[in-house]
Chains A and B, each alone.
Chain A
Amino acid sequence: MSRLQVVSGKGGTGKTTVAAALALALATEGKRTLLVEVEGRQGIAQLFETEALPYEERKIAVAPGGGEVYALAIDPELALLDYLQMFYKLGGAGRALKKLGAVDFATTIAPGLRDVLLTGKACEAVRRKDKQGRYAYDCVVMDAPPTGRITRFLNVNDEVAGLAKIGPIHNQAQAVMRVLKSPETSVHLVTLLEEMPVQETVDGIAELRAAKLPVGRVIVNMVRPALLDEAELELGLGGTPRTAIAKTLAAAGLGGARGAAGRLVGPLLEQASEYAERHALEGAQRAVLAGHGLPLHELPLLADGLDLAGLYELAAELRAQGVA
């Protein structure tokens, strides 16, 4: 099991949700995991219904069987100051830099530098050990940038090679890459069974592989329940006489076969045919995903929206599917 699990995917497909569920799942039975956020969006705090997370690791949830999930929202500016402090003991000068906007400058004008700091912090947590030499966290789960940016984000080395050819940032980037390109890391992609997210996933897999970054699993999120099976669809859309359906509706107490119940038949069959069309499209997207030789998993759409209980439900599902 990789100790750094990176969760990416198209915007809005459920990266934050899946990353959190995964952190919970991996913490089950006495483990400790760290859930890391890098986009400064406070998505984790929202999900766990707590106040905004500071730049500090704190316990955010207890997993089934006594494990613990910690969370950290990495702030690139603070990470840079941290870093300056660590290497140069800058103290007041660091604050002056911040005031001048230098930190903002360094972290925004060169997204590569910012990414070194963000991934660097996550890798540090992965490697950190306590006094007894045990890992501080069994696993670190990162709620990462979306598919379109993930390869650049993780491939900090290439980016930084063009910017900082020597110096501590350069060295840091090298160290980070050693972790990211090793089996210690696994990059998962979250998608929906729709054309665009699936296309992004396919492109993302190709890009990650080309960059020699370890692709892990594909997690299909928000899968709608199957309400009609193939046989029923065939019966409904193929030959069953409408009058037979009307009679059955009438027998179920929905009005006369030629009146109220009869009028339902058309619309109900129409809905069935829409369902069939969508179902076929979803099947086609599944087939596209299946063609990439990666483990595929599916998480159900929680119809009433996602709350904490739902998050635990998804975590249980991930465990049941052998993801954690």
Chain B
Amino acid sequence: MSLDPARDPLDVDALLDDPKTRIVVCCGSGGVGKTTTAAALGLRAAERGRTVVVLTIDPARRLAQSMGIDSLDNVPRRVKDVQGGGELHAMMLDMKRTFDEIVEAHADKERAEAILSNPFYQSLSAGFAGTQEYMAMEKLGQLRSRDEWDLIVVDTPPSRSALDFLDAPKRLGSFLDGKLIRLLMTPAKMGGRAGMKFLNVGMSMMTGALGKLLGGQLLRDVQTFVAAMDTMFGGFRKRADATYRLLQAPGTAFLVVASPERDALREAAYFVERLAADDMPLAGLVLNRVHGSGAAELSAERALAAAETLDASGAPETLEASGAPETLEASGAPETREASGRAAGSAENLEASGIVDQEGGKVGLRNSSEFEAPDSPEASGSSPSTSSTEDTGSGSGSVSGSTSVEQLTAGLLRLHAERMRLLTRERHTRDRFTALHPEVAVAEVAALPGDVHDLDGLRAIGDRLASTRS
């Protein structure tokens, strides 16, 4: 059905059913399906009887709504309509709130207020690169210590590199208890010590320059902030370290999610190597959005050749690029598609039958586009090639009446050829990864034609995750 399975399939159900599995972390580069996978794994585990909490980060709106976690209150909610004996709880990470909670938990009331209202704190908690990763780890630590769930599934923040999840917390930690922060905090303490004279000189020069640049008030804000945070700095590093150790503990399993594309799999390979270097347990690779075909025995080349045979035999006079509007609908315009290259301009056909909105019809490298008025983008929406829309309107009867079975079949074959090319490309990319990392177990998840935005969709993903043949 889909690509032939890689050497070593990943047994997702065994992983989810094993009571020793306590944490599953879904990592991967941006947009590959981390959130979807995390939610699908959580649901599947719950429906197989476990008590699960899923920590999601920036889930798609409709997915969040369908799980009932679209309100940002930073606590897990029980998800309704979960079948079977277990329970699914889910939450969406609120990064700023998590940061605020740390401050509130570790500083007395007065200090906490001073910190929370400091402009630097606000800037840091909302925007520092890595804050989201740090807070995801922080939240994971909190959930783990509550010990109310026997499985925690963690999603990771969108970032280009999967490594960010592991690196960012340390970066923030070391930044917060870094050299400069200590310097800014200590001038008073080290006043008398001769050995520190040099530092003091550096210090005053620096604060002088920064003060000039930023304005004195700004520097005072920084110092107030740093002073107020004083008691917490060591804490950040310690907490990051503790969670890091949790990730190395037995009970934790990492899943690397990737789409079968070069960049995503390259990132996945980096991540796999990094996990090995850090002694973190990798359960396997989830290869998401893989394409398959029920007719894989028919190659792209044969399908195209057959389509051409049909064009030659069956179709009426085929439209050339210059065609008159009336003939647009009558023709599948296969020649035009081929001739205009990679992103064939059959958008014309769609426009002609009125199903693509007109702005949208500008796909591809139309032969005629050079001659369209380029002055305003709106203008091309009403260019001659789209004016034929009215000819067809909803008159689908006449449309289908003029499309022959030959044309339909040729179209199906072209669609198949494209699928086969995609499939071949995906397979090559995957094989390159498995050659590099034959030890990594792989689960393939077929691409669903639509988005995944409800529990049924998640179940479908879960089924696919678990059904990689052995």
Chain A residues packing against B (C-beta within 8 Å): 10-12, 41, 83-84, 87-88, 90, 93, 96-97, 100-102, 104-106, 108-113, 149, 152, 159, 162-170, 194-196, 199, 217, 220, 223-232, 234-236, 238, 240, 244-245, 248-249, 251-254, 260, 263-264, 266-275, 277-278, 281, 283, 286-287, 290, 295-298, 300-305, 313, 316-317, 319-323
Q: A84-B213, A199-B61 are in contact. Are A302 and B302 (CB under 8 A)?
A: no
Interface pair A264/B408, CB less than 8 Å apart: no
A-B residue pairs in contact (CB < 8 Å), sample of 21: A96-B202, A109-B222, A112-B123, A196-B60, A223-B363, A225-B418, A227-B344, A228-B411, A229-B350, A230-B355, A231-B403, A240-B405, A245-B412, A253-B306, A271-B412, A271-B419, A278-B450, A286-B359, A290-B360, A295-B378, A303-B342
- Report chain B residues within 8 Å CB of A101: 178-180
Interface pair B365/A227, CB less than 8 Å apart: no
Interface check B262, CB cutoff 8 A: yes
Distance between Cα atoms of A71 and B346 in the complex (Å): 36
Q: A300-B364, A320-B369 are in contact. Are A267 and B294 (CB under 8 A)?
A: yes
Interface pair B372/A320, CB less than 8 Å apart: yes
Which of under 10, 10 to 19, 20 to 34, or 35 or more describes the interface residues of B? 35 or more
- Report chain A residues within 8 Å CB of B412: 228, 232, 236, 245, 268-269, 271-272
Among B307, B343, B408, which residue has its beta carbon within 8 angstroms of that of A252?
B307
- Report chain A residues within 8 Å CB of B352: 229
Chain B residues packing against A (C-beta within 8 Å): 29-31, 60-62, 119-120, 122-124, 127-129, 158-160, 175, 178-181, 183, 202, 205-206, 209-210, 212-218, 221-222, 262, 293-295, 297-298, 302, 305-307, 309-310, 313-314, 329, 332, 337, 342-344, 346-347, 349-350, 352-357, 359-360, 362-366, 369-370, 372-380, 396, 399-400, 402-403, 405-409, 411-416, 418-419, 421, 449-451, 453
Q: A100-B183, A217-B377 are in contact. Are A163 and B123 (CB under 8 A)?
A: yes
- Report chain B residues within 8 Å CB of A249: 306, 409, 413
Distance between Cα atoms of A244 and B404 in the complex (Å): 11
- Report chain A residues within 8 Å CB of B60: 195-196, 199
Interface pair A252/B413, CB less than 8 Å apart: yes
- Report chain B residues within 8 Å CB of A152: 127
Among residues of A, the one whose C-beta sits closest to the C-beta of B364 is A300
Among residues of B, the one whose C-beta sits closest to the C-beta of A223 is B363
- Report chain A residues within 8 Å CB of B175: 104, 108-109
Interface pair A321/B213, CB less than 8 Å apart: no
- Closest chain-B Cβ to A255's Cβ sits at a distance in Å of 9
Distance between Cα atoms of A252 and B216 in the complex (Å): 81
Interface pair A96/B205, CB less than 8 Å apart: yes
Interface pair B309/A253, CB less than 8 Å apart: yes
- Report chain B residues within 8 Å CB of A10: 31
Distance between Cα atoms of A199 and B70 in the complex (Å): 15
- Report chain A residues within 8 Å CB of B369: 317, 320-321
Interface pair A248/B409, CB less than 8 Å apart: yes
Among A163, A234, A304, which residue has its beta carbon within 8 angstroms of that of B119?
A163
Among A105, A231, A320, which residue has its beta carbon within 8 angstroms of that of B370?
A320
Interface pair A111/B127, CB less than 8 Å apart: yes
- Closest chain-B Cβ to A14's Cβ sits at a distance in Å of 12
Among B128, B129, B449, which residue has its beta carbon within 8 angstroms of that of A274?
B449
Among B129, B205, B214, which residue has its beta carbon within 8 angstroms of that of A113?
B214
- Report chain A residues within 8 Å CB of B206: 96-97, 100, 102
Interface pair A163/B342, CB less than 8 Å apart: no
Among B209, B357, B402, B415, which residue has its beta carbon within 8 angstroms of that of A271?
B415
- Closest chain-A Cβ to B176's Cβ sits at a distance in Å of 9
- Closest chain-A Cβ to B87's Cβ sits at a distance in Å of 28
Interface pair A322/B373, CB less than 8 Å apart: yes
- Closest chain-B Cβ to A144's Cβ sits at a distance in Å of 15
Among A93, A109, A199, which residue has its beta carbon within 8 angstroms of that of B209?
A93
- Report chain A residues within 8 Å CB of B62: 195
